[in-house]
Structure formats: C-alpha cells, structure tokens
Amino acid sequence: MSTEPDRLLSPDEVAERLGIKVRTAREWCRTGVLPAVKVGQRGLLRVKESDLNAYIDGLPSASQP
C-alpha cells in the first residue's frame, strides 16, 4: 500500500490523459462525470489521479464487440 498522497490533476492534465478537450474535462468535473474537488480561494477544479484511473479502468474496452 502506497503512503504517498494522491496527486491532484488539473482539467488540462485530465484532458490530455483522456484525449478530450479541456472544456469537456471541466464540464465533466462540474457535472459529476468525473469526481472533482475545488481547491484554494479561487475554487480550482482538481481530480484525484486515483479517481481518474478508476474512471479509465471502468471504460469499455475498444476490443469488445
């Protein structure tokens, strides 16, 4: 078990990992498609890396009929 804290990813990093537009990543964070937290006084959206990995793991495989 890792003792390192979960890395928080910006919508830009999420978009890059998923191959989507940053605007889409932000919308998914706001609507709950991806679990996100707001940090700091400006309420910047961040996604835990483990949550993003779980989302990716739950996506259907392209090889499935």
Residue-level pLDDT at 2 = 58
Average model confidence (pLDDT) across the chain? 90
What ranges do the domains of the chain cover?
8-56
Residue-level pLDDT at 3 = 63
Residue-level pLDDT at 1 = 56
Exposed/middle/buried for 29, CB within 10 Å: 0-12, 13-18, 19+? buried
7 Cβ contact partners less than 8 Å away, ≥ 6 residues apart: 48, 49
pLDDT band at 60 (very low <50, low <70, confident <90, very high): confident
pLDDT, tens digit, for every residue of 29-58?
Answer: 999 999 999 999 999 999 999 999 999 999
pLDDT, tens digit, for every residue of 9-28?
Answer: 999 999 999 999 999 999 99
Architecture field, domain 8-56: Orthogonal Bundle (1.10)
